[in-house]
Amino acid sequence: MLRTALVNIPRTSLRRVHVSTRFLRPSLQAFARFESSKPADPEALRAARKHHDSLQRDWQSPILSYEQVKPKTLQPSSDAYLIDVREPDEVIRGSIPSSVNLPLSTLAASLNLKPQDFREKHGFDKPETTQEIVFYCRSGKRSASACDVARRHGYQNLFNYEGSWLDWVAKEGGQKP
């Protein structure tokens, strides 16, 4: 099977030809053809996809619903965190009771801080790697990213409140931000 690709060729590698000065450019484009390998065995592709899916399954954090998060806000405990990963200007509009704010933009750097520095910067103790942590944001996308960031930093007991703030407001009967 042959494939065609567009490649840039520096002008210096081409022989000189008379070209109007308004068409001169630092590089010219040309088409090149490459021979690709034969298609893979369908069984091998299926096995590779199955293996990839099993690795992804281990990486994804469990998703919590409103009904699972609500009791955590009514009886907060010191061994579990409900972390809002929205930016401070979004948190001003409201947050889930008993949650703490740790913006996604600073999450990775903050998880690398020493516990004392973390407390000085954020006003609460740095979570232990085995503590239960529930992340939420506005709609659930950033909280999924926060779970990935925390897992890469060695945290194990992570949950994603997928409905996040929008779901909370809808279920609590509040105003939409």
For residue 56, report the phi and psi dihedrals to the nearest 5 degrees. -65, -40
Residue 137 appears among annotated catalytic residues: yes
Quote the CA–CA distance of 88 and 175 in Å, as a whole number.
Answer: 19
The DSSP code sequence of 84-148 is E-S-HHHHTT---TT-EE--HHHHHHHHTS-HHHHHHHHSSPPPPTTSEEEEE-SSSHHHHHHHH
Catalytic residue among 69, 133, 137, 147: 137
- Contact present, 44 and 71 (Cβ < 8 Å): no
8-state DSSP, 78:
T
Catalytic residues: 137
